[in-house]
Amino acid sequence: MELKCCVQQYAWGKIGRSSEVALLSGSGDPDFVVNERMPYAELWMGTHPNGPSVIKGTSQKLSDWIATHEESLGKQVLKQFGRQLPFLLKVLSVNKALSIQAHPNKCHAEQLHKRSPEVYKDPNHKPELAIALTPFEALCGFRPLSEIKHNLQGIPELRDIIGKEAISELLNSDEAGIQAALRKVFHHLMTCPKETLQTQLQNLLRRVETLGKHESSRASLQVPLLQRLHSDFPGDVGCFGIYFFNLVTLNPGESIYLGPNEPHAYLSGDCIECMACSDNVVRAGLTPKYKDVETLCNMLTYQCAPADTKKFLPRKEDDFTYIFSPPVPDFAVAKIMVPPGTGSYNLICRNSASIIIVIEGEAVSNIVKLKRGTIFYLPATEKCSVNNTAGLRPLQLYQAFANV
């Protein structure tokens, strides 16, 4: 069944036709009109109540159809998750940074939902996978400890915010005490009085403006990123987060997986994103939204690792299919690339219901006509064959399904 899906116009989204979300939506739905002055941030494909998909040509929600056709989910999905689609597939178009955030594990999500249901609106965890469609930037996980120590020693404005005692504790910690010391340092940063924070941020910005274009310190201070974040979020504590978190740059087709309690912030680019069916986010910077600083500081992993270890690698399933299979049962994503001139090709049969989006190309299939922006629901174990004999470009599909 072909789907009509929800577009979210959050302020951080790319504007007009610069947004892959807008372009895909316009291509897949002839009634969709792109406003060149408006942001188009996310395309939601699934059953989440904040942006439910509907069956194209009707007003029926996909969730309502599934409720009366539960067998379409697949036996394993029904057994593990009940009568619901356990994942949410998205396309994101990021123009400016999303918040510094992390997602709770299942047990913590239940506690947060019980404590503050108006903020944490469901009791589910939210592991997520991002696969780049264009060059994509993100902050992800804590930097190697040596880099954090270098930044604390080399950036006086950061030292003045955090204080000598907490920094000395981290610099002199043995291996057993590193995580606790890093937690203390990070907490000092995130709870710094606003006036002190803004004074030191202005001091740093003035100082970097005096650096020559080719000075090595410009790179270590990440001057362009610092200035960009401050321009979008003046005076925000998240501007200093770049000295604690890895900057990860993904080429198209590369991905990162974000498990529970992993600090991150998407910065720019377009991506496919898949997650457990939840909208639980604990935020603490680079956002005008509600910040739950104490919860974030208490939940983070504080595990330090290099940026290149954050990339999540797929495995090859057949000549045209690579699967990104994270260590959770809620979801996996297959990237399917069918070259032009290819005759009949059968997509790998899944024991879970799936949602498929066409990112590039045109082809015929036994399900629906495939073109850029087409989105459809495929019941578990149902066969889907495509034929790209007449195609001039590769047919590029992304397929999300439960990882059972």
Q: Which helix (H) or strand (E) holds 132?
A: strand 128-132
- For residue 114, report the phi and psi dihedrals to the nearest 5 degrees: -65, -40
Return the exposure string of 80-110: e unless at least 16 CB atoms fall within 10 Å of the residue's CB, then b: bbeebbbbbbbbbbbbbbbbbbbbbebebbb
3-state SS class at 35:
coil
- Could you tell me which residues come within 8 angstroms of residue 14 by beta carbon, excluding any fewer than 6 positions away? 20, 21, 22, 39, 40, 41, 93, 94, 95, 270
Residue 83 a catalytic site member = no
pTM above 0.85, yes or no: yes
Give the dihedral sign, CA 40/46/50/52.
positive
Q: Which residue has the tokens 């790209």?
A: 388
Q: Which DSSP string do the residues of 148-213 spell out, in sequence order?
A: HHHHHHH-HHHHHHH-HHHHHHHHT--GGGHHHHHHHHHHHHHT--HHHHHHHHHHHHHHHHTS-T
Work out the burial of residue 360: count CB atoms within 10 Å of its CB; fewer than 13 is exposed, 13-18 middle, 19 or more buried.
middle
pLDDT given for residue 214 in this prediction:
66
pLDDT given for residue 216 in this prediction:
72
Return the exposure string of 31-48: e unless at least 16 CB atoms fall within 10 Å of the residue's CB, then b: eeebeeeebbbbbbbbbb
Q: Which CATH number fits domain 144-243: 2.60.120.10, 1.10.10.10, 3.55.10.10, 1.10.441.10?
A: 1.10.441.10
- For residue 264, report the phi and psi dihedrals to the nearest 5 degrees: -165, 165
For the chain, give every domain's residue range: 3-140+249-301, 144-243, 315-401
Residue from 362, 386, 253 nearest 28 by CA:
362
- Could you tell me which residues come within 8 angstroms of residue 11 by beta carbon, excluding any fewer than 6 positions away? 39, 41
SS3 content of the chain, % helix, strand, coil (to 5): 30, 30, 40
Output the tens digit of pLDDT for each of the chain's 404 residues. Answer: 999 999 999 999 999 999 999 999 999 988 899 999 999 999 999 999 989 999 999 999 999 999 999 999 999 999 999 999 999 999 999 999 999 999 999 999 999 999 999 889 888 889 999 999 999 999 999 999 999 999 999 999 999 999 999 999 999 999 889 999 999 999 999 999 999 999 999 999 999 988 877 677 788 899 999 999 999 999 999 999 999 999 999 999 999 999 999 999 999 999 999 999 888 899 999 988 889 999 999 999 899 999 999 999 999 999 999 999 999 999 999 999 999 999 999 999 999 999 999 999 999 999 889 999 999 999 999 999 999 988 789 999 999 999 99
Q: Which CATH number fits domain 315-401: 2.40.110.10, 2.60.120.10, 3.20.20.70, 1.10.357.10?
A: 2.60.120.10
Residue type at 256 in one-letter notation: I
CATH 2.60.120.10 describes domain 3-140+249-301: yes
3-140+249-301 and 315-401 in the same fold: yes
Work out the burial of residue 209: count CB atoms within 10 Å of its CB; fewer than 13 is exposed, 13-18 middle, 19 or more buried.
exposed
CA atoms within 13 A on the CB side of 226: 20
The rounded radius of gyration (Å) of the Cα atoms in the chain is: 22
Q: Kindly name the residue from 283, 315, 372, 393 that is annotated as catalytic.
A: 283
